[in-house]
């Protein structure tokens, strides 16, 4: 297969982990006889500094013309600490999702047996936890009508039937491929938008009689993820709730540096780690590249290249078992490995 990949490294640790992701993808393509080419584009704070736009039109065209986007991270403290800033790096991320029609964010949450001790939860709670959070990505408050003055502000949480139906369809289909259990998360006891979500989910559920469908208020879901994470198989929810719950779910594994994600929809899919740009670690060669590496596995799996994805996952597991780890997950007294060294070990293991 021929791949044309748009690479958006972004800000902070983005360029460091992006380089590892590209090296891993290149190694896998060489091993399996695929051809791959890369086109690099700017986004986030880097793009604001260079052209004044966090997602320039040229970057959009690069993404639109690619088979897939390998994305890393955006964000910079100089914008976080300025509430008056009119242009922000994160606006580039929202623009990319909207322009490419990426309405479904897929975030797997899984644990690694050798890292159970790193989880803030007890090992018996998290061992074997393996579920997927599906977050609606282009609607709700993040994209609704907004207003702010010195005394009043509001964000409009609006959803339409077609927006809800298409993301619920993704949720039901993922549940059919897994353990046939779907949890629809909302706040239907308070919010009108959530009541429409629940109404439509109840209408669609009979179309998937093999799926056990349950409904959970978002506050209860947040508690359940901590008390009994193994309860969940596939979770689907709206944009704002999904943003919060997926970050909560990410710490179950013990490190945000371990989990990848995919954003899919009408156009070019985007594969990225779930973590941010961690600007404090920029250039220090300490960032964990495994989430970026696993996002490459998700990329191959999206194109139904399961053997390629499985190889990456096998090598990542092997690196963890061999204690080839960046500092935040290294065992006490373990050898020192940086971003580049972990990446190089994985690439060599793929080539063997």
Domain annotation for the chain: domains and CATH numbers:
1-102+266-351 (3.40.718.10), 106-255 (3.40.718.10)
Q: Exactly one of 169, 247, 282, 302 is catalytic; name it.
A: 247
Name the pLDDT band for 103 (thresholds 50, 70, 90): very high
What is the residue whose two structure tokens read 């748009």? 6
**Is the predicted pLDDT of residue 81 greater than 80, yes or no?**
no
**Is the predicted pLDDT of residue 174 greater than 90, yes or no?**
yes
Residue-wise pLDDT tens digits, 267-305:
999 999 999 999 999 999 999 999 999 999 999 999 999
Q: Which residues of 229-247 are buried (b: 16+ CB within 10 A; e: fewer)?
A: bebbbbbbbbbbbbbebbe
**Is the predicted pLDDT of residue 256 greater than 90, yes or no?**
no
Mean pLDDT of the chain: 95
**Is the predicted pLDDT of residue 83 greater than 80, yes or no?**
no
Compute the average pLDDT of residues 36-47: 97
The predicted structure's pLDDT at residue 183: 98
Does 208 qualify as catalytic in the annotation? no
Q: Exactly one of 67, 130, 155, 243 is catalytic; name it.
A: 243
Does 50 qualify as catalytic in the annotation? no
Q: Exactly one of 11, 46, 187, 233 is catalytic; name it.
A: 187
Does 46 qualify as catalytic in the annotation? no
Compute the average pLDDT of residues 319-338: 93
Q: Exactly one of 46, 76, 99, 142 is catalytic; name it.
A: 142
**Is the predicted pLDDT of residue 257 greater than 90, yes or no?**
no
The predicted structure's pLDDT at residue 250: 85
Does 187 qualify as catalytic in the annotation? yes
Name the pLDDT band for 115 (thresholds 50, 70, 90): confident
| Percentage of residues of the chain with pLDDT beyond 70 | 100
Q: Exactly one of 82, 219, 317, 321 is catalytic; name it.
A: 219
- The model carries a pTM of 0.90
The predicted structure's pLDDT at residue 255: 79
What pairs with residue 125 in β-bridges? none
Does 247 qualify as catalytic in the annotation? yes
**Is the predicted pLDDT of residue 37 greater than 90, yes or no?**
yes
**Cα–Cα dist 216/235, whole Å:** 10
Give the neighbor-by-neighbor strand order of the sheet with 181-186. Answer: 35-40, 2-10, 68-73, 270-273, 260-264, 104-110, 130-136, 234-237, 181-186, 212-217
Residue-wise pLDDT tens digits, 116-150:
888 999 999 999 999 999 999 999 999 999 999 99
């Amino acid at each position: 297969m021929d791949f044309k990949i748009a690479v958006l490294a972004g800000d902070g640790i983005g360029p460091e982990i992006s380089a590892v992701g590209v090296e891993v993808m290149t190694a896998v393509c060489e091993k399996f006889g695929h051809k791959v080419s890369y086109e690099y584009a700017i986004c986030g704070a880097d793009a604001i500094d260079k052209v004044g736009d966090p997602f320039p039109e040229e970057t959009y065209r690069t993404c639109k013309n690619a088979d897939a986007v390998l994305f890393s991270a955006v964000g910079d403290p100089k914008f976080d600490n300025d509430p008056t800033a009119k242009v922000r790096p994160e606006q580039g991320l929202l623009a990319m999702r909207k322009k490419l029609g990426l309405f479904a964010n897929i975030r797997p949450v899984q644990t690694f047996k050798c890292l159970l001790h790193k989880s803030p939860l007890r090992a018996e709670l998290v061992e074997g936890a393996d579920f997927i959070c599906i977050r609606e990505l282009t609607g709700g408050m993040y994209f609704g009508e907004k207003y702010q003055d010195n005394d009043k502000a509001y964000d409009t949480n609006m959803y339409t039937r077609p927006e809800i139906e298409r993301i619920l369809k993704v949720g039901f289909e993922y549940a059919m491929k897994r353990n046939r259990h779907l949890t629809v998360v909302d706040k239907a006891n308070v919010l009108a938008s959530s009541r429409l979500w629940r109404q439509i989910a109840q209408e669609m559920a009979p179309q998937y009689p093999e799926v056990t469908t349950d409904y959970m208020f978002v506050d209860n879901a947040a508690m359940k993820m901590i008390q009994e994470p193994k309860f969940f198989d596939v979770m689907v929810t709206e944009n704002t709730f999904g943003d919060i719950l997926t970050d909560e779910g990410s710490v179950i594994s013990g490190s945000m540096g371990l989990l990848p994600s995919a954003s899919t929809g009408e156009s070019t899919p985007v594969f990225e780690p779930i973590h941010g740009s961690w600007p404090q670690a920029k250039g220090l060669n300490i960032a964990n590249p495994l989430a970026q590496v696993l996002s490459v596995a998700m990329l191959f799996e999206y194109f139904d290249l399961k053997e390629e994805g499985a190889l990456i996952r096998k090598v990542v597991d092997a690196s963890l078992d061999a204690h080839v780890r960046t500092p935040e997950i290294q065992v006490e007294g373990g050898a020192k490995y940086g971003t580049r060294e972990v990446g190089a070990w994985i690439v060599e293991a793929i080539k063997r």
